[in-house]
Amino acid sequence: MSLPLLSIKDLWVRFGRFDAVKGVSFDLRGGETMALVGESGSGKSVTALSILKLLPYPQASHPQGEIHFKGENLLEKADENLRKIRGNEISFIFQEPMTSLNPLHTVEKQIGEVLTLHRNFKKSQIREKVIELLELVGFTDAFDRLESYPHQLSGGQRQRVMIAMALATEPSLLIADEPTTALDVTTQAQILDLLKVLQKKLKMALLLITHDLSIVKKMAKNVVIMQKGECVEAGLTENVFENPQHPYTQQLLNSEPRGIPEELDPEASLILEAKNLSVKFARKSALFSPKTYFEAVKDVSFQVRQGETLGIVGESGSGKTTLAFALLRLQESSGEILLQGNPIHRLKNKELRELRHKIQVVFQDPFGSLSPRMTIAEIIGEGLKIHHPQLTFEQREELIVESLKDVSLDPETRNRYPHEFSGGQRQRVAIARALILKPQILILDEPTSALDRAIQVEVLEILRDLQEKHHLAYIFISHDLKVIRAISHHVLVMRHGSIVEFGPTQVVYEKPQHPYTKVLFKAAFDL
């Protein structure tokens, strides 16, 4: 048997006195796919970054262990020699393409830079090669995209650009760190299929880091399960999934969102109603040319009752988040928005401010929506200062403690800062911040997309408990159809700004009527 392409032996990674990775070992052969699986903080990404020595040294260190690539120990190589391997022989696709791509450079410049640095391409050769790479990763309008900036691309398109950059040097090993996080299900399926095709074409090995077990099942021949920095189980994916030996592996496999929401009270009062809601954005036009508009939300109508969860699904760009912003009056719109019968679409700022506590929002990225300079208590209590300035410090503290208990967080942690919490804990803080104002309705925009499955299940259980306790109504926006099925009473399917299907969740899932809904469900459940 030939030597493995990559061989990690007894790898340790230490940050100060903390061991993030403890004695991890595995082999990856050329052309094969291996998945590193585990919850956030399990050491997956740290292990992968160690391969190319991309950790923050000297804060990070390797007390022991070896990483052999094509027979050479990478940990013993000087940076100068590693540069020849980074990007050339081993490429890396990072988790978040928006932060990995330079917002000031065009697609052509960013891919061209890789070709110049690693392949010594001349300026005259770059454009042709960039077009070839963009076509390779599925752009049908490659030439038109050369001058595009990252913000002008969808999430799936940005991820394709990242893949094109990674493949520019035709590496022997591609490391993909959560390459489909925050992508809608159809784009996710496209990216995974693309990786499989390219892997076969280029005969490269793929090290896939993910917390999504359905992706592992589809993509990986072998799997390594990590927990708290250790490898707790490893082997052929099929064997590990069919006969898991370690309790943690069993727990992961049982962490799929399950169940259905509590039956809705037929006498429940109406909380929110949207009538013929539309949102238009002006397109750029030449001087003296007539204005043209892009309709992001088109004539959307629905109702939400007390204690009800309305799930909204659709691909990226379907209008889900724009609709949420319109409901919150953070985006200009036409049509009517009634909050407990109040026509809030007509209200001015001062009048609207008095009602804002009744409709609150939890955003997708809790780390981005929580101020790093404020303590948890300050973050959660900020809304009270605005809407209830008459409260004393002691009264605010009492409500903060109550909100933290509601989301199963220790009140003793309220003087800590966001960076001291895990992703799941930060999302609970975001929920507590919304709850403290006693809202009637919560808009949750992809609240579980960046969380691993086990934490997702925990957050969903908390949301269920809060709904029952406070009779809350939810508008739950997600591309995760398994999550939507587990928590929503009704589901609304959007495409190109319009509603293409609406109905009770179980009915829509069992018998989807619209062709687009069928495509969406097939992509989600065939993973």
| DSSP secondary structure of 365-422 | -HHHHS-TTS-HHHHHHHHHHHH-TT--HHHHHHHHHHHHHHTT--GGGTTS-GGGS-
- Homologous superfamily assigned to 270-283+293-525: P-loop containing nucleotide triphosphate hydrolases (3.40.50.300)
What integer pLDDT is reported at residue 57 of this predicted model? 92
What integer pLDDT is reported at residue 492 of this predicted model? 96
pTM attached to this predicted model: 0.81
The stretches of 79-184 forming alpha helices (DSSP H) are 79-85, 97-100, 107-119, 123-136, 142-145, 155-167
End-to-end CA distance of the chain: 32
What integer pLDDT is reported at residue 368 of this predicted model? 74
Which burial class, exposed, middle or buried, applies to 249 when counting CB atoms under 10 A from its CB (0-12, 13-18, 19+)? buried
What integer pLDDT is reported at residue 182 of this predicted model? 64
DSSP state of 243: S
Q: Which residues of 326-357 are buried (b: 16+ CB within 10 A; e: fewer)?
A: bbbbebebebebbbbeeebbebeeeebeeebb
What integer pLDDT is reported at residue 90 of this predicted model? 95
Q: Tell me the chain's radius of gyration from C-alpha atoms.
A: 25
202 Cβ neighbours under 8 A, 6+ residues apart: 167, 170, 171
Closest CA to 273 of 385, 148, 441, 158: 441
**Parallel, antiparallel, or unpaired: how do β-strands 205-210 and 173-177 relate?**
parallel
Helix-strand-coil split of the chain, %, nearest 5: 40, 25, 35
Residue with tokens 């000031």: 104
What integer pLDDT is reported at residue 212 of this predicted model? 83
Residues facing 21 on adjacent strands: 13
Alpha-carbon distance of 313 to 490, in angstroms, equals 11
Residue 27: count other Cβ atoms within 10 Å of its Cβ: 16
Parts of the chain with a pLDDT under 50: none
402: left (phi over 0), alpha (psi -120 to 50) or beta: alpha
Report the side by side order of strands in the sheet with 293-305: 293-305, 270-282, 334-339, 342-343
Alpha-carbon distance of 276 to 283, in angstroms, equals 22
Query: CB of 107 within 8 A of CB of 141?
Result: no
Residues forming CATH 3.40.50.300 domain(s) in the chain: 270-283+293-525
**Parallel, antiparallel, or unpaired: how do β-strands 490-495 and 270-282 relate?**
unpaired
What integer pLDDT is reported at residue 98 of this predicted model? 67
As a dihedral over the C-alpha atoms of residue 426, residue 431, residue 434, residue 435, rounded to 10 degrees, the angle is: -130
Go through the chain and tell me how many residues it has.
Answer: 527
What integer pLDDT is reported at residue 480 of this predicted model? 86
